[in-house]
Amino acid sequence: MPLLEVKDLHVRVEEREILHGLSLIVNRGEVHAIMGPNGSGKSTLSHVIAGKPGYEVTEGEILLGGEDLLAMEPDQRAAKGVFLAFQYPVEIPGVATMTFLRTALNAQRKARGESEYSTPNFLKKVREVAASLNIPQDMLRRGINVGFSGGEKKRNEVLQMGLFEPSLCILDEMDSGLDIDALRVAADGVNALRSKDRAMVVITHYQRLLNYIVPDFVHVMSKGRVVKSGDKDLALELEASGYAQFEEA
Ligand code: ADP
Ligand code: MG
Ligand code: MG
């Protein structure tokens, strides 16, 4: 059974249809890239999967491990293993990253019916995961994302991903605003979290990111639909020829 199955999805935002019958199948262990021009509906798809309010699904369905994802509240989806890394991470002054992570992780464990981490166990876990992803300890004491560079924000998201152990990671334009060094660091983190039990959906406008996170499948979106799917070579083809060819079709 696929991990994620999106079937003929139609989505409206403020009375306007944005996704017009989008279908996608993602299995555990796979990394899928979704590419497409600005405004093609990439972020809309990620928001609908995560359960962000403001979107109306008028047709179609989304299944996670065969279960109806659209019937679940956003926190239930997270508890079931859906993780969305936002395009623009929020800054929360006054809340230490460590405190935020602990609260979020324990909420997720509770929703899964698991016991909360004790302080020493949480510290042990977060240090282990941070070390495995080359994340400096001092980042954990600072306010969430406050004064973080673009690269540090991404590391923070990679750290959350490592802690929450999601089955489905959706990364929406994680490359936006990153210089090449920061991009490499963030991509290394994502690659370290690839596993046979986990799937990743990497959304990007540019091919560049896919030099670092090499996908198994590439899908091109245009005007609210997947118009072409292929392997990693499709991304290279796009880099050479652009999106215009799909706009016509
Ligand atoms: P992408 O991520 O591919 O750039 P989006 O999913 O952000 O595309 O947007 C797809 C289309 O939906 C665009 O035309 C955008 O203007 C529209 N859209 C997205 N969110 C909203 C919203 N909250 N209100 C009105 N229109 C929206
Ligand atoms: Mg956009
Ligand atoms: Mg977007």
Distances (CA, A) of 192 to 12, 63, 95, 153, 155: 36, 26, 27, 17, 12
Q: Which residues pair with 82 in a beta bridge?
A: 168
Residues in the chain: 249
CATH code of the domain containing 241: 3.40.50.300
Share of the chain above pLDDT 90, in %: 58
Which tokens hold the place of 60? 């179609």
What are the backbone angles phi and psi of residue 11, rounded to the nearest 5°?
Answer: -130, 135
Q: Which of 26-35, 136-145, 238-247 has the lowest mean pLDDT?
A: 136-145
| Structural contact between residues 60 and 10, judged by C-beta atoms closer than 8 angstroms | yes
Using CA positions, which residue lies closest to atom 15 of ligand 1?
Answer: 39
- Gap from CA of 64 to ligand 2 centroid (Å): 25
What is the reported pLDDT for 140?
83
Burial class (CB in 10 A: 0-12, 13-18, 19+), 147: exposed
145: left (phi over 0), alpha (psi -120 to 50) or beta: left
Atom of ligand 1 nearest to the CA of 41: 6
CA–CA distance, 201 with 216 (Å, rounded to integer): 10
- Gap from CA of 38 to ligand 2 centroid (Å): 5
Q: Indicate if the pLDDT at residue 37 is higher than 90.
A: yes
| Mean pLDDT for the stretch of residues 78-100 | 78
| pTM of the predicted model as reported, rounded to 2 decimal places | 0.91
Q: Which ligand is nearest to the CA of 88?
A: 3
Which tokens hold the place of 7? 């079937």
- Gap from CA of 200 to ligand 1 centroid (Å): 22
| Structural contact between residues 207 and 35, judged by C-beta atoms closer than 8 angstroms | yes
Using CA positions, which residue lies closest to atom 23 of ligand 1?
Answer: 13
Give the model confidence (pLDDT) of 6-17 as tens digits: 999 999 999 999
Which tokens hold the place of 210? 């896919």
Q: What is the DSSP string of 94-130?
A: EEEHHHHHHHHHHHHHHHTTPPPPPHHHHHHHHHHHH
Cβ 18 under 6 angstroms from ligand 1: yes
What is the best residue among 11, 13, 34, 204 to mutate for testing ligand 1's pocket, by most ligand atoms within 8 Å of CB?
13
CA–CA distance, 1 with 26 (Å, rounded to integer): 10
Does 182 or 198 have the greater pLDDT score?
Answer: 198
Number of C-beta neighbours around residue 107 at 10 A: 14
What is the best residue among 18, 170, 226 to mutate for testing ligand 1's pocket, by most ligand atoms within 8 Å of CB?
18
Using CA positions, which residue lies closest to atom 11 of ligand 1?
Answer: 39
Here the ipTM equals: 0.95
Distances (CA, A) of 161 to 150, 168, 234: 17, 10, 27
What is the reported pLDDT for 87?
54
Count of domains in the chain?
1
CA–CA distance, 170 with 166 (Å, rounded to integer): 10
Q: Indicate if the pLDDT at residue 91 is higher than 80.
A: no
State the residue range of the domain holding 238. Answer: 4-246
